[in-house]
Structure 1
Amino acid sequence: MTHPKFIRLFLKNVKKYPNNILFESANNRITYKEFYNLCIKFKDYICQESGRKTPVVCILESKKKFDYVSMIGTILAGGYYVPINKDMPLKKIQQIVKICDANFFSSEKKMKFKSNTKLVDEKKILNFRLNNKKKKYLISKNAYILFTSGTTGEPKGVIISKKNLDAYIEWIVKKINLKVNEHCSQFISISFDVSVCDFYTSICSGGKLFLPSKFDMIFPGNMISKNKISYLVSTPSLIDYIDSSKGLNKKNFKFINKILFCGEPLYENQVKKIFKQNSKIKIFNCYGPTETTVSVTCCKITKKNFKNLSDGVMSIGKAIPSSKLSLIKDKKFQKKEGEILISGKQISSGYLNSPLETKKKFVTIDNIRYFRTGDYANNYRGNFYFKNRLDNQIKYKGHRIELNEINYFLREYGFNNTYTNLFKNEIVSFIQGKHMNIEKIKKFLRNKIEQYKIPSNFVFLKKFPLNKSGKINIKKLENLAND
């Protein structure tokens, strides 16, 4: 079996720097060689136990090294993995296991499944002994599948192939240009594709990753300073959080020389705050939907140029070499503004077991395959600027959220008319009807959707305000949300 390029880069670093630390956490260190050996044991286990079926491994996030052992071990075995957020409700986890027909579930928690999915944890891997009976199965072209929100409450799996990931990692490794042993953060959840930017960039460059503890997640600024992090991967929301906890200061940002942002719009005032603490930092502001393998644009921002790259919101820059951005409006390609269409090597093959949804979002125009993003942007002097969404989807704290999914479950609870949107960086649900116990509603939603999707505020109305066109008056709802 020929490994993908990103695995070959990792193996090269194992050979060159076997005793260098790859992961460091509060009470644990693991070298490149030790990590590799664990990955091989994981690979051997799933190869032996999968029978003649390609290994498909769901990984329930624990924010520990075994998450990453499971990821690399699965790729080495020729299978693909499915990362799952630690806050995902059990019912939704079971749905995902069923949809992707997983034969393994990596978790430190005990789980029960109706299928023949086998639970695997670090203890099982350490005690495993290979019996040398090789079993043949098809090697998967896929690297991972990420599940995102669906409008009907059914999770939607985005397929990312090993070739997609190769194309992206080839670019980011050269762009970020990490030094051997450079200290990298790993705040981002493995269920969020931006985590590729710290984990894979680091292991393919010989870097050193620091896994945050629960305490570190509460006080990330302290963790950055304590571990002398020089390469930080972040969402803009994390910077706001660090600022609100008084962690955005010269001491904590002293060693940072590069920050990669992705997942939501980056604002000029956030950039100003960063440069106030360390004017030498280089910021890489990136953009890309999950369907296009992490990100497809990059804007390099410095203290000298940031004002020229801002209209209040920072530019997302230009397309990276493996991708191309086009703008379309009124069914015609435009030069200045329109919906972003993306083509190139990083485009997903589509959604798992969802041919109709794939056909709707992935289109072919003049023999070129594009992904329709639903994002509206303009092009000013060769740089792209994100403006707004064309549908009911938002990016919130780095997560992609389909607002209709929240409405779907509110209707399942018993409400006939609901509307959910983002106001002043908070998710607010408006409900037509009598006021009801909010804690009971939240408790119901916790069993259906992730914690970060649960609205911060619920507003009950006798009836929805309408505009002259008979549509919901968003401006009036915004005023109600602010009252």
Structure 2
Amino acid sequence: MPAERHTLYDWFAASATGHPDQPALEIGDTELTYTELARLVDTLAAHLLRHLDGEPPRRVGLLAARTAVAYAGYLAIQRLGAAVVPLGPSFPAERNAGIARAAQLDAVLADGTAENTGRFDAPTLTLTDPELLRLTAPPLPAIRPARPEDLAYILFTSGSTGVPKGVPIQHRNICAYLTHVVPRCVAGPGARFSQTFDLTFDPSVHDMFTAWGSGATLVVPTRDDLLSPVRFVNRHALTHWNSVPSVISIAKRFRALRPGSMPTLRSSMFCGEPLTLQQAEAWQQAAPLSQVENAYGPTELTVTCTAYRLPPDRSDWPAPANGTVPIGTPHEGVQLLLHEGELCVRGPQRFPGYLDPANNTDRFLAPDGSPYDPTTALTDAHWYRTGDGVARAGEDAPLVHLGRGDQQVQVHGYRVELTEVEAALRALPGVMDAAVLPRTTPGGTELTAAYTGTPGTEDGLRTALRDRLPGYMVPATLTGLDALPLNRNGKVDRAALGELLGIPGHPA
């Protein structure tokens, strides 16, 4: 790793020094060069510090999305040596408030776009983009820089206990990741990167800092742009793309993926959910000059930890029995262990353990592969248990993802514990019991739920769930039953329930 890049902010700062006049950020009609963005970041950092009476924060919530405040804010928090804790502008207010409490925020920076702002115990600074661009502040005083072992960001993922889990990522984790992937992007000034992921989802860190770590331009789409990826790519002459594979299915459904329809793309990465060979072929035909790469990794392993780049010639592609593109080989320094078919990982990208140590139980193995004793200290030598089943077709063949053996699914790239959705349903007045299953659709995975009791109308149930869960966790269909089917052990028979809900072949 270059000596000057020990923290996440260092990757941006190096490009601001080396490519000051190159465009760093495009949002709508606003374009900022690296010099302009760096100046704005320092001004915002100084303003935030003054808002906190000069006391440098440790953790700052960022309640913002697809605005200049969001991106300048992310960098300003890093500039202050603090950890970013993204909050969801579309999340229910109580969910954001719960995340803020669990993260013990010192401040919240908001852009005013949240549907339900709610109240936070920490001081809150709200700025619109026009206010940000007019902002003035005294020079930023000397700040103790973050250290490699300090936290760069904390993301909260769906929790099997019904409560989101905090996943802290250290600067050394994300810098190890960027040291591997930035050269793979083969980018520099003039390259143009998409930013399709919400800040609450860790591939957004890849989007921002592979662009800014290369001296390239980060181009931010609107929500409407995300529904028309081909048009967005061509309108902005993008060279680098990153999204969930379901974007391909949406584009195919609208018949937008015509051969050669994205001639400017040179690199395309997909992550967050399985990439099928059919999806990859459709994208490659539409972007014939682009590499197509499938990347894999849970949040705990810092964005992605393995990747597979498809050969340019379709005849050289592998053909796994499950019809998906392999997840490939590990990033530099990442070590893999197959434990009874489950992928376990350690190395410089592995997170230091959950924010709540109680969540570490059953999620790690000891260095020798034996069960982890949660009463002992967690070290870098411990293996993280991903919960994902993998296999190889041969000794030197790339890894293929086989699915999971628990109740965790991916919905448009977001990790969802079905038990958290079920807990939210059971907490509603009138609901006696509930079970949730995934359903595969042309647009990706969606959730469908069954419940017992007399809670009222389906619309009323859905509205109540939206007050508790992010939109992607709210089931698309809700079906009332007299009773949930049970197996001989008295547990929900998910295979039988799948048949009742029209999802044949769903595993038990």
Per the normalisation by structure 1, the TM-score is 0.91
Q: Within the alignment, does 1:176 sit opposite 2:185 as a pair?
A: yes
Q: Distance in 1 between matches of 2:457 and 2:23?
A: 51
Alignment of 1:74-473 (within 5 A): 74-109=77-112, 111=117, 113-121=119-127, 123=131, 126-130=134-138, 141-250=150-259, 252-302=261-311, 303-304=313-314, 307-311=317-321, 312-329=323-340, 338-352=341-355, 354-366=356-368, 368-381=381-394, 382-414=397-429, 415-424=431-440, 425-433=445-453, 436-467=456-487, 471-473=491-493
Deviation at 1:126, TM superposition (A): 4.4
Which region of structure 1 is more displaced relative to structure 2, 462-471 or 401-410? 462-471
Q: Distance in 2 between matches of 1:84 and 1:166?
A: 23
Which region of structure 1 is more displaced relative to structure 2, 44-53 or 442-451? 44-53
Which region of structure 1 is more displaced relative to structure 2, 63-72 or 291-300? 63-72
Which region of structure 1 is more displaced relative to structure 2, 456-465 or 52-61? 52-61
Q: Distance in 2 between matches of 1:371 and 1:186?
A: 28
Contact 1:46 / 1:77 at 8 angstroms: preserved in 2?
no
Structure 2 counterpart of 1:35: 37
Deviation at 1:434, TM superposition (A): 5.2
In structure 2, the CA distance between the partners of 1:137 and 1:65, relative to structure 1 (3 Å rule), is: closer
In structure 2, the CA distance between the partners of 1:272 and 1:361, relative to structure 1 (3 Å rule), is: same
Structure 1 counterpart of 2:63: 60
In structure 2, the CA distance between the partners of 1:133 and 1:73, relative to structure 1 (3 Å rule), is: closer
Residues 124-159 of structure 1: per-residue CA shift (max 9 Å, x gap): 684342277778899780000001112333221100
Q: 3-state SS of the aligned residue for 2:265? A: coil
For structure 2, which runs of at least 5 residues remain unmatched after alignment? Answer: 369-378, 504-508
Contact 1:61 / 1:189 at 8 angstroms: preserved in 2?
no
Deviation at 1:475, TM superposition (A): 3.0
Deviation at 1:276, TM superposition (A): 2.9
For structure 1, which runs of at least 5 residues remain unmatched after alignment? Answer: 330-337
Deviation at 1:413, TM superposition (A): 0.6
In structure 2, the CA distance between the partners of 1:326 and 1:106, relative to structure 1 (3 Å rule), is: same
Residues 306-362 of structure 1: per-residue CA shift (max 9 Å, x gap): 631533111100111121111101xxxxxxxx011010001111121x111124323
Deviation at 1:219, TM superposition (A): 2.0
In structure 2, the CA distance between the partners of 1:20 and 1:100, relative to structure 1 (3 Å rule), is: same
Which region of structure 1 is more displaced relative to structure 2, 2-11 or 205-214? 2-11
Alignment of 1:9-48 (within 5 A): 9-48=11-50
Contact 1:350 / 1:362 at 8 angstroms: preserved in 2?
no
Deviation at 1:206, TM superposition (A): 1.0
Q: Distance in 1 between matches of 2:231 and 2:361?
A: 47
In structure 2, the CA distance between the partners of 1:235 and 1:134, relative to structure 1 (3 Å rule), is: closer
Residues 367-408 of structure 1: per-residue CA shift (max 9 Å, x gap): 821111111111222311111112111111010011111100
In structure 2, the CA distance between the partners of 1:158 and 1:5, relative to structure 1 (3 Å rule), is: closer
Q: 3-state SS of the aligned residue for 2:362? A: helix
Structure 1 counterpart of 2:496: 476
Contact 1:62 / 1:107 at 8 angstroms: preserved in 2?
no
Residues 270-321 of structure 1: per-residue CA shift (max 9 Å, x gap): 1121233234421111111100100110101133366315331111001111
Structure 1 counterpart of 2:375: none
Deviation at 1:22, TM superposition (A): 1.2
Q: Distance in 2 between matches of 1:398 and 1:256?
A: 22
In structure 2, the CA distance between the partners of 1:457 and 1:69, relative to structure 1 (3 Å rule), is: same
In structure 2, the CA distance between the partners of 1:280 and 1:468, relative to structure 1 (3 Å rule), is: farther
Deviation at 1:5, TM superposition (A): 4.9
Deviation at 1:187, TM superposition (A): 1.1
Deviation at 1:195, TM superposition (A): 1.2
In structure 2, the CA distance between the partners of 1:433 and 1:306, relative to structure 1 (3 Å rule), is: farther
Query: Percent of aligned positions with the same letter in both sequences?
Result: 24
In structure 2, the CA distance between the partners of 1:423 and 1:471, relative to structure 1 (3 Å rule), is: same
Q: Distance in 2 between matches of 1:170 and 1:6?
A: 11
Q: Distance in 1 between matches of 2:365 and 2:413?
A: 26
Residues 197-247 of structure 1: per-residue CA shift (max 9 Å, x gap): 221100000111211123312322211111111210011111112222222
Contact 2:43 / 2:135 at 8 angstroms: preserved in 1?
no
Contact 1:20 / 1:31 at 8 angstroms: preserved in 2?
yes
In structure 2, the CA distance between the partners of 1:208 and 1:434, relative to structure 1 (3 Å rule), is: same
Q: Distance in 2 between matches of 1:370 and 1:71?
A: 30
Deviation at 1:106, TM superposition (A): 1.6
Q: 3-state SS of the aligned residue for 1:115? A: coil
In structure 2, the CA distance between the partners of 1:247 and 1:137, relative to structure 1 (3 Å rule), is: closer
Aligned residues: 474
Contact 2:228 / 2:251 at 8 angstroms: preserved in 1?
yes
Q: Distance in 1 between matches of 2:105 and 2:455?
A: 42
In structure 2, the CA distance between the partners of 1:85 and 1:242, relative to structure 1 (3 Å rule), is: farther
Contact 2:58 / 2:81 at 8 angstroms: preserved in 1?
yes
What letter is aligned with 2:416?
I
In structure 2, the CA distance between the partners of 1:259 and 1:215, relative to structure 1 (3 Å rule), is: same
Q: Distance in 1 between matches of 2:106 and 2:8?
A: 25
Per the normalisation by structure 2, the TM-score is 0.87
Structure 1 ranges of 4+ moved more than 4 A: 131-140, 467-471
Q: 3-state SS of the aligned residue for 1:482? A: coil
Q: 3-state SS of the aligned residue for 1:229? A: coil
RMSD: 2.5
